[in-house]
Amino acid sequence: MEDMQKHYRSLELDKILKMLAGETACDDAAELALQLSPSHSLSEVQRLLQETDEAHTLMARFGAPSFGGLKNVSNSLRRAEAGGTLTMAELLRIAGVLRTLRGIVDWRAKSAGQKTCLDWRFDSLMPNKYLEDRIFGAILSEEEMADSASPQLASIRRKIRSASSRVREQLDQMIHSTAYQKYLQDPIVTLRGGRFVVPVKAEFRGEIAGLVHDTSASGATVFVEPMSVVEANNQVKVLQSEEQAEIERILAELSAETGNFASGIISGYQAAVELNLIFAKANLGYKMKATLPLVNDKGEILLKKARHPLIDPNRVVPTDIELGIGFDTLVITGPNTGGKTVSLKTVGLLTLMAMCGLLLPVAENSRISVFQKVLADIGDEQSIEQSLSTFSAHMTNIIKVIAQADETSLILLDELGAGTDPVEGAALAMSILEVLRRKGARIAATTHYAELKAYALQTVGVENACCEFDVNTLRPTYRLLIGVPGRSNAFAISQRLGMDEEIVERAKELVSSENVLFEDVVQSLETSRQKLEAERAQTEKVRLEAERARQEAEKIRDSIQKKADQELEKAHRQASELVSRTRGQIDALLNEMEELKKQRDKALSAEQKARLKSGLRSLEETADPVHSREEQGAYVLPRPLKVGDSVLIYDIDKQGTVLQLPEGNGQNVLVQAGIIQTRVPLSNLRLIEKKKIANKPRRTVTRSMTSRAEAKVTTECDLRGQTVEEALMNVDRFIDSALLSGIEQLTIIHGKGTGTLRAAVQQHLKRHPNVRAFRLGTFGEGEAGVTVVELK
């Protein structure tokens, strides 16, 4: 295990665990964080990650619970359980833990509707409000017991205060007496050994009878307890002893009660510590902007926009890393300081973090694998803990790695084969990779040997990768490019740093032609990659713009459809109101006719009534001016349209004149409707044939009625534009006519205007003897512009 810890330290897992410990709120949780070890079980890792993710979700919705008062009080609780008496400080710490447990339970109650895998831990907390209040009610501080702790303690302390007051009164009289003032060093009362005394000059010690309790440092003052207050001081001391005994009794009682709940408090504390660690993981993930990865045990790693958690986010570019899906070995090449080691550490560290139940600083839907062994040979200036720079040290580590490697291992090798002859080092590196691949391990290795680049190109299951390096700024971007071998850039970097151009050119001449050719191929590949990447970025931009345009078009279409539906609904509503109003008027006429029938003993025939009701139904059916488009398919034009024909635009019930017929195979006709010219589909037009009016004899019906009923029957009186005097005369005439005709409900139209005419009419109606009631019109009747009158 110690050997594995060395590998974990080389990947800097200990630094992450220190960051995690810094997020905890109590010592035990911090200790748990530092001792955290990666789990090698897929189900266990999935459980740990689910706990962290659900804690992260709860924090996002309800904030984090407070673990601030957690302290390890197990020893005190076990001692109380065994019958021991606890101090006030210990009891206060236990009450503080109980208060914290209660606060966590109350916090969880806010989110009770959301079930999580953490619920069994919350259910284990078991707060004890009774014991918490009992302790806080009895103890004020680590040194002071409250008077309310018991009635006996309150009584004893009252007696102490009374006795002390009597002693002070006697001594105050003495120090303010002229007879004693010359003997006293200062006119004050003080305490020595818990007894009230007065400071007497040493030379007058015999003048005041009493007991000497102390002497000043200089010897000039002695502190004397006068005999007159000795008995009162004795009483105070006795009471103080009783007070201490009562305090001890109360502490023993509280300790016994606490001991009865010891096991429950300890288990609740342990559950709270575990919860504190889980929420610390969630909070660390929040600070890292981390997400939940998909976990497998097949050795498949796919990290999207991965960031090394120990590097400043402002300096690192998120990178995509893949291993174990299309290939089992990744060879990362490129110059020194190019970010190869960072990429290697990112793979290893994020794997270990996931195995510890930590969220990863990667994009959504990233994949990570659980390994039984994560073995690393990493030693460079970037790691403070170790520096394995010599060839022998590297080989010693690699020999141990080879011995432990199997198909469940992730192996990370930094600068493989470095530190010896380049030709031998490259050959040894290839041989080591072959052995590890035969064992089935997943391997990521960094190197700057050109031979390994060619090996990766030629070998199935081995893939090249390189880290981007900006030659202009001499800074790595830490972005890993998989499938592209790295260039050393040694000449470009040297020249950029100020190396003499002649030296650089001579070095280029000394490089073998094969190597130059290979580097040229790599350069060509890199140029092609950058070009394709720019084109892909442009394509993605165009795709996003097209998607945005599509969404806007859909939004506009939905808006138009919504407005059309609203207009249709409005038209239907207006048509319905028209039908209702018409029906009301017809009903009123029917009622009038019924009344006339009774008066004149002349009834409408059943056939006439049926005709009238049939006409009413026809009116209701035709009063809706908006027709649905589904009705249009049944109509066929009786003949082809001609310019000048009168047509009906069916869906809006509007007449128009044909200005221009469709051209070619078109179906839209140019129609003049009022002052508007519009193109209308042919299927939406109805031809209006002009009918000849035949000279038919008019049918005349003569009825005999009384002369008073010969006046024209109407239920509306329009007063708009009239003066008040004219209007009131017309109202009277209108009401008289309605009474003669037997009409019981009238409508007076006075308009809205300034309201003067309306007020005058309504004031007149109040006094009219034949008016039973009146009201303003409702929606569809004219609202405030009309008054509806009900006659007696």
- Per-residue pLDDT band at 328 (split at 50, 70, 90): very high
Q: What is the pLDDT of residue 470?
A: 67
Q: In degrees rounded to 5, what are phi and psi of residue 747?
A: -125, 120
Per-residue pLDDT tens digits for 630-663? 444 567 888 888 888 888 888 777 888 988 888 7
Spatial CA neighbour of 374 closest among 277, 275, 442: 442
Residues 456 and 337 in one domain: yes
pTM for this predicted structure: 0.60
Residue 315 confidence (pLDDT) above 90: no
Count of beta carbons in the 10 Å neighbourhood of residue 490: 15
Number of domains in the chain: 5
Beta-carbon contacts of 246 under 8 Å, excluding residues fewer than 6 positions away, are 150, 152, 153, 156
Q: Answer for the pair 635, 686: CB distance below 8 angstroms, yes or no.
A: yes
Q: What is the pLDDT of residue 614?
A: 60
Per-residue pLDDT tens digits for 193-218? 778 888 888 777 776 777 777 788 77
Q: What is the DSSP letter of 206?
A: G
Which of 297-301, 390-394, 716-720, 730-734 has the lowest average pLDDT? Answer: 390-394
Q: Is 234 annotated as a binding residue?
A: no
Q: Is 334 annotated as a binding residue?
A: yes
The span from the CA of 345 to the CA of 166, in Å, is: 79
Residues 276 and 380 in one domain: no
| Residue 230, domain member (yes or no) | yes
The span from the CA of 449 to the CA of 422, in Å, is: 7
Spatial CA neighbour of 48 closest among 370, 361, 280, 358: 358
Mean pLDDT for the stretch of residues 10-18: 92
Q: What is the CATH number of the domain that holds 757?
A: 3.30.1370.110
Q: Which amino acid is at 393?
A: A
% helix / strand / coil in the chain, to the nearest 5? Answer: 55, 15, 30
Q: Copy the structure tokens of residue 272.
A: 């709270």
Tallying the residues shown for the chain, one arrives at: 792
**If you average pLDDT over every residue of the chain, what do you get?**
81
Residue 182 confidence (pLDDT) above 80: no
Mean pLDDT for the stretch of residues 55-84: 91
Spatial CA neighbour of 326 closest among 344, 346, 299, 359: 299
Tell me how far CA of residue 625 lies from CA of 527, 575, 611, 630, 656, in angstroms.
69, 7, 23, 15, 16
Q: What is the CATH number of the domain that holds 418?
A: 3.40.50.300
Above pLDDT 70, what percent of the chain?
84
Residues 121 and 204 in one domain: no
Residues 55 and 190 in one domain: no
Mean pLDDT for the stretch of residues 230-243: 82
Q: Is 337 annotated as a binding residue?
A: yes
The span from the CA of 659 to the CA of 682, in Å, is: 13
Which range, 387-391, 510-514, 668-672, is most confident?
A: 668-672
Query: DSSP string covering 136-187, please?
Result: HHHBSSSS-B-GGG-HHHHHHHHHHHHHHHHHHHHHHHHHT-HHHHTTBSSS
Q: Answer for the pair 254, 136: CB distance below 8 angstroms, yes or no.
A: no
Exposure pattern of 169-178 as b/e (b: 16+ CB <10 Å)? Answer: eebeebbeee
Q: Is 190 annotated as a binding residue?
A: no
User: Which residue, of 463, 492, 521, is where some domain finishes?
Assistant: 492
Tell me how far CA of residue 58 lies from CA of 50, 53, 561, in angstroms.
12, 9, 41
Mean pLDDT for the stretch of residues 179-188: 73
In the chain, count H helices and then E strands: 22, 23
Helix (H) or strand (E) holding 438: helix 422-438
Q: What is the pLDDT of residue 267?
A: 93
Q: In degrees rounded to 5, what are phi and psi of residue 501?
A: -65, -35
Residues 355 and 474 in one domain: yes
Of residues 200 and 780, the one with the higher pLDDT is 200
Spatial CA neighbour of 333 closest among 435, 480, 515, 433: 480
Tell me how far CA of residue 600 lies from CA of 519, 604, 647, 792, in angstroms.
119, 11, 48, 21
| Residue 743, domain member (yes or no) | yes
Of residues 564 and 761, the one with the higher pLDDT is 761
Q: Is 336 annotated as a binding residue?
A: yes
Residue 382 confidence (pLDDT) above 60: no
Residues 246 and 298 in one domain: no
Q: What is the pLDDT of residue 20?
A: 95
Query: DSSP string covering 298-352, please?
Result: SS-EEEEEE--TTS-TTTPPPEEEEESSS-SEEEEE--TTSSHHHHHHHHHHHHH
Which range, 355-369, 720-734, 745-759, is most confident?
A: 355-369
Residues 365 and 486 in one domain: yes
Residue 447, class by beta-carbon neighbours within 10 Å (0-12 exposed, 13-18 middle, 19+ buried)?
Answer: buried
Q: Is 464 annotated as a binding residue?
A: no
- Per-residue pLDDT band at 176 (split at 50, 70, 90): confident
Spatial CA neighbour of 452 closest among 398, 489, 413, 492: 413
- 3-state secondary structure (DSSP) of residue 468: strand
The span from the CA of 433 to the CA of 445, in Å, is: 9
Sheet containing strand 646-649, strands side by side: 676-681, 668-673, 654-660, 646-649, 685-687
Residues 484 and 364 in one domain: yes
Residues 13 and 106 in one domain: yes
Residues 372 and 474 in one domain: yes
Q: What angle do CA 240, 244, 246 make, to 5 degrees?
A: 115
| Residue 391, domain member (yes or no) | yes
H-state helical runs in 37-149? 42-62, 74-81, 88-110, 119-123, 129-138
Residue 285 confidence (pLDDT) above 90: yes
The span from the CA of 433 to the CA of 328, in Å, is: 11
Q: What is the CATH number of the domain that holds 679?
A: 2.30.30
Q: What is the CATH number of the domain that holds 100?
A: 1.10.1420
Residues 299 and 434 in one domain: yes
- Per-residue pLDDT band at 530 (split at 50, 70, 90): low
The span from the CA of 347 to the CA of 320, in Å, is: 10
| Residue 747, domain member (yes or no) | yes
Query: DSSP string covering 337-382, please?
Result: TSSHHHHHHHHHHHHHHHHTT--BSS-TT-EEE--SEEEEE--STT
Q: Is 473 annotated as a binding residue?
A: no
Q: Copy the structure tokens of residue 719.
A: 């007063």
| Residue 531, domain member (yes or no) | no
Residue 541 confidence (pLDDT) above 70: yes
The span from the CA of 645 to the CA of 656, in Å, is: 8
Q: Answer for the pair 273, 29: CB distance below 8 angstroms, yes or no.
A: yes
Exposure pattern of 30-41 as b/e (b: 16+ CB <10 Å)? Answer: bebbeebebbee
Mean pLDDT for the stretch of residues 720-737: 87
Per-residue pLDDT tens digits for 464-497? 888 776 666 666 666 788 877 765 566 666 767 7
Beta-carbon contacts of 751 under 8 Å, excluding residues fewer than 6 positions away, are 719, 720, 757, 758, 785
Q: What is the pLDDT of residue 2?
A: 64
The span from the CA of 9 to the CA of 6, in Å, is: 5
Which range, 280-289, 311-320, 739-748, is most confident?
A: 280-289
| Residue 703, domain member (yes or no) | no
Count of beta carbons in the 10 Å neighbourhood of residue 51: 22
- Per-residue pLDDT band at 273 (split at 50, 70, 90): very high
Beta-carbon contacts of 346 under 8 Å, excluding residues fewer than 6 positions away, are 303, 306, 307, 308, 319, 321
The span from the CA of 321 to the CA of 340, in Å, is: 12
Q: What is the pLDDT of residue 475?
A: 67
Place of tokens 């490089």: 511
Beta-carbon contacts of 460 under 8 Å, excluding residues fewer than 6 positions away, are none
Which range, 126-130, 369-373, 559-563, 672-676, is most confident?
A: 369-373
Residues 319 and 377 in one domain: yes
Q: Parallel, antiparallel, or unpaired: how do β-strands 716-718 and 654-660 relate?
A: unpaired
Sheet containing strand 195-201, strands side by side: 190-192, 195-201, 221-226, 210-215
The span from the CA of 322 to the CA of 346, in Å, is: 12
Q: Answer for the pair 197, 212: CB distance below 8 angstroms, yes or no.
A: no
Q: What is the CATH number of the domain that holds 213?
A: 1.10.1420.10
| Residue 513, domain member (yes or no) | no
Q: Is 341 annotated as a binding residue?
A: yes
| Residue 41, domain member (yes or no) | yes
Above pLDDT 90, what percent of the chain?
31
Q: Answer for the pair 762, 774: CB distance below 8 angstroms, yes or no.
A: yes
Per-residue pLDDT tens digits for 556-605? 888 888 887 888 788 777 777 777 777 777 777 777 777 776 765 544 45
Range(s) of the domain holding residue 730: 709-791
Spatial CA neighbour of 339 closest among 364, 365, 321, 366: 321
